[in-house]
Amino acid sequence: DLPGTYALSAYSPEEVYVRRHIIDDPPDIIVNTVVASNLERNLYLTTELIDISPKMVIALNMYDELEASGAKFDHEALGEMIGIPMIPVVAPSGRGLEELLDAIIAVHENRDKRVRHIHIGYGSIIEENLEPLNADMRQHRDELIAHFPPRYFALKLIEGDKEVESLLESSPHKERWIKMATMARTEIETALGEDIETALSNQKYGFISGALKETYEAAERKRNTLSDKLDAIVTHRIWGFPIFFA
């Protein structure tokens, strides 16, 4: 739950720091803090962590704000869908913290039946070009960091992630894998007509959107509130200009 950490890419110091920490000092379990009132944006990091496949529990913080808004969210159903327990939490009041600790212990001890590993589906074009590299890396699993799956490394190589390339510096197959990744990236970008980062990002947001469509119902926005009435005055096509200048 570090500021500025919305993904595990190599584009910001915060994100690089978090990824290095998970690589260099792998935690027994990850508690992924998600702001419940802004699910779509905050679940993006969750999709990145799913690719790494750690033991994980999601703390749905500020859950009181989601409830106060009138939105309906079946967090149990979404947790089962993605194979990760999701626990509503309100940190300032301590609500849900005992349940969170119980879930952490159960997941760590392999007792939580909700836990299962899933893959984020990236669509047929990406998957078809990803699989040959993934299969080749699986055959040489001993050359990779033990607690990261080959699929994760394959994805990052196709993205052209320099940090991940440096992690494979001592691998005898590094050059072959980079060549395969470059060919896969070219095929994907040509077929989809967009760069690989955008393509993967779109697929992840599509996954999140689809999951929330089945489990989340936004609150109906009340019309004619005081804010709406003030907006109608200050943005009026005639009176708006003198009010603005005043």
pLDDT in tens, 189-223: 999 999 999 999 999 999 999 999 999 998 876 66
Q: Is the dihedral of CA 95, 98, 101, 105 positive or negative?
A: negative
Burial per residue of 47-61, b for 16 or more beta-carbon CB atoms within 10 angstroms, e otherwise: bbbbbbbbbbbbbbb
Q: Which of 212, 186, 211, 217 is nearest to 199 (CA)?
A: 186
Helix axes of 124-139 and 150-159: crossing angle, nearest 10 degrees: 120
Which one, of 216, 221, 219, lies nearest residue 34 by Cα?
Answer: 216
Cβ neighbour number for residue 27 with a 10 Å cutoff? 12
Looking at the predicted structure, is the pLDDT value of residue 86 above 90?
Answer: yes
Say whether pLDDT at 54 is over 70.
Answer: yes
How long, in residues, is the chain? 246
**Mean pLDDT, range 232-239, rounded to an integer:** 87
The whole-angstrom separation of Cα 83 and Cα 50 is 9
- pTM of the predicted structure, to 2 decimals: 0.82
Quote the pLDDT of residue 123: 93
Rounded Cα distance between 163 and 73, Å, is 37
Q: What is the pLDDT of residues 139-197, one digit of tens each?
A: 999 999 888 899 999 999 999 988 889 889 999 999 999 999 999 999 999 999 999 99
Residue 121's alpha-carbon distances to 82, 201, 202, 206, 240, in angstroms, are 12, 12, 11, 10, 49
